[in-house]
Copies of this chain bind each other. A is one copy, B any other.
Amino acid sequence: MAVEPEDVIQHSSSEFARFLKNVRGHALEMGGLAEQHVESAIQAFLEGDQKLAKKISRADFKVNALEVKIDEECSEFLALQHPVAMDLRTVIAVIKATTDLERVGDEAEKIARLTANLDYQAVRKRHLRAVKHIGRHVLAMLHKALDAFARLDTDLALEVLKEDLEVDEEYEAGMRQMITFMMEDPHTIRLVLEVLWCAKALERIGDHAANICEHVLYQVIGKDLRHVSIEQVERELADAQI
């Protein structure tokens, strides 16, 4: 169920409210930028647009800079104010989510860097096809994770956690396909490995999207559900009656 963030976050003061709204806004801005980089990196990879790839590769510093800025804001807030309960969990969730978003940016940069150096004369459609599906799925997951973070939507967060398991399976299937390509034509091993690294980077972006959703659950129900099964997450959500 989606809840109004303003209803859930009970602030000790209007100053708290303002800070939390601002810092969550900055985290979402960072998320939007990271998402945009992932989208462009996938597009560059699939279309062989090496100019776009180089542009994305050079732009990763912007995501990093936002992480540093948000971390500073959170540290300053923790030092000057004294948030408790949901307010404190919000700050901790923001710090943790930005760590994941920074790594999402890193993975987008990795895809862009690989794309910029890929020999597109040798790339075949079947190579790209194996990655296309994972790319589309992971991008949708990341979008949902940011939505779940923005709206503190635990249902959406749970959905993303389930999808992460699907993406892991899609990655395994993609990898098996690529091993077949390599065995069929050993001259393409290096090339196919580079395509495989792109698929791996996408799979990791899915992991980070799932992590962000775990931070959302922590923020809303106050429980650390990082190392438990999906079934247990469902039980905890039911118990919390959210």
Contact = CB atoms under 8 A, between A and B. Distances in A.
Interface of A: 61, 64-65, 67-68, 71-72, 75, 78-79, 82-85, 88-89, 92, 95-96, 99, 179, 182-183, 186-187, 189-190, 193, 224, 226-227
Contacts of A186: 182-183, 186, 189
Contacts of A84: 79
A150 to B, nearest CB: 23
A89 B64 contact: no
Residues of A contacting B: mostly? helix
Contact of A189 (B72, B82, B88, B183): B183
Contacts of A88: 75, 78-79
A19 to B, nearest CB: 15
Contact of A224 (B72, B82, B83): B72
Given A71-B224, A182-B189, 5 more contacts: A68-B227, A78-B92, A82-B82, A92-B95, A182-B182
| Copies of the polypeptide in the assembly | 2
A192 B123 CA distance: 23
The 5 closest A-B pairs by CB, nearest first: A64-B227, A186-B186, A79-B84, A82-B82, A68-B224
Nearest to A80: B84
Contacts of A179: 189-190, 193
Contacts of A83: 78-79
Contact of A68 (B79, B96, B226): B226
Contacts of A99: 96, 99
A72 B223 CA distance: 9
